[in-house]
Amino acid sequence: MIWLIGSKGMLGSEIARQLTEKHISWVGSDRDVDISDPQALLNFADSHDTSAGCTGRTASNGKVPEKITWVINCAAYTAVDKAESDAELAKILNEDGPRNIARATRKIGAKLIHISTDYVFDGTGSVPYTETMEKKPLGVYGVTKAAGEDAVEKEMTQYYILRTAWLYGFDGKNFVYTMTKLMNDRDALNVVSDQKGTPTCAMDLAAAIIKIIETSDKAPGLFGKKSAIPYGVYHFTNLGETTWFEFARRIYELGKRFGRIQSDCSVNPCTTEEYPTPAKRPAYSVLDKSKIQNALRIKIPSWEESLEKFIKSPRFEIK
């Protein structure tokens, strides 16, 4: 069974939906099991895990609880700008939380998939970042997420850290929904054109996460000690690269084509300097995906392809 932490967030909701669709057994927690509280995590693990000294115990629903073999952590402090003035809470959730989760996961003998971010890099590069490149975060969010990765790596060996970027999904606030709303409300919009990266559809990331689990479970490796997919850090975004401005222009074009945007809006480029934010963003945060593509033998869709699918989908509903 999979324990999905942060199951009500944008990515967590998508993973939950796909697990349910595939009839994969899972249990979710969100704010109800505070990741900053190690005991709360252990209590939850204990009450849902047959390996935690409760083998054969009958649960309140009359079923024998299943063993938790995987933990997916999607919970985090994700408000990048707010983190600059809320560093203590960002650290508690992004650094201490993953440490607590890693300890609980290790205690029950499960494997961990932890989600991280392109913001661990400073964005001064000009070629896609590989997993082994040095972390140099720019702001509080990136610093705390990088520390969360370190904490996981220190606490356990059976982990996958998946760094992603520019994430959007059906169940949460995100750039695609924000732009669509603004484009319906305004005549003109300025969007930064000097930051490069790759949008990521939560549907594709969720599918890759589930593929890691399925592939590992199908071929657990020699005596179950190694995994078919080597543990470690992986990068996952959609393919290609763009700027926020080009991303916004494509949202406008597709939004118009599929009836999400009813009025005209002129989308114009601006510089980061002209649009200051409390947190500094990496100017270039394209991630190299070859490691995950080779390990999972998947073809990742381009960002344009996935954006079209997203905007066309009947699940598209601005939050």
Ligand X SMILES: NC(=O)c1ccc[n+]([C@@H]2O[C@H](COP(=O)([O-])OP(=O)(O)OC[C@H]3O[C@@H](n4cnc5c(N)ncnc54)[C@H](OP(=O)(O)O)[C@@H]3O)[C@@H](O)[C@H]2O)c1
Site for ligand X in 166-205 (CB under 6 A): 166-167, 172
Q: Tell me the number of residues near ligand X by CB under 6 A.
A: 24
Strands (E) located in the chain: 2-5, 26-29, 70-73, 111-117, 159-164, 167-168, 188-192, 196-197, 200-201, 232-235, 242-243, 266-270
Task: List 228's β-bridge partners, or say none.
Answer: none
Distance of alpha carbon 172 from alpha carbon 180, whole angstroms: 14
Q: Which of 115, 138, 201, 212 binds ligand X (CB under 6 A)?
A: 115
Q: Which is nearer to ligand X, 34 or 46 (CB)?
A: 34
Give the angle subtended at the CA of 138 by the CAs of 201 and 146, to the nearest 5°. Answer: 65
Does 140 interact with ligand X (rule: CB under 6 A)?
no
Q: Are 237 and 164 in contact (CB under 8 A)?
A: yes
Write down the catalytic residue from 77, 119, 141, 159: 141
What is the dihedral sign for C-alpha 70, 34, 164, 260? positive
| Active-site annotation holds for 141 | yes
- DSSP reduced 3-state for 85: helix
Q: Which of 20, 22, 25, 31 binds ligand X (CB under 6 A)?
A: 31
CB of 108 to ligand X, least distance (A): 18
Does 102 interact with ligand X (rule: CB under 6 A)?
no
CB of 274 to ligand X, least distance (A): 22
CB of 223 to ligand X, least distance (A): 32
Using CB positions, name the residue nearest to ligand X.
9
Q: Which of 18, 36, 272, 293 binds ligand X (CB under 6 A)?
A: 36
Q: Which of 68, 74, 147, 254 binds ligand X (CB under 6 A)?
A: 74
DSSP structural state of residue 128: P
Q: Which of 3, 6, 123, 267 binds ligand X (CB under 6 A)?
A: 6
CA atoms within 13 A on the CB side of 141: 20
Catalytically annotated residues = 141
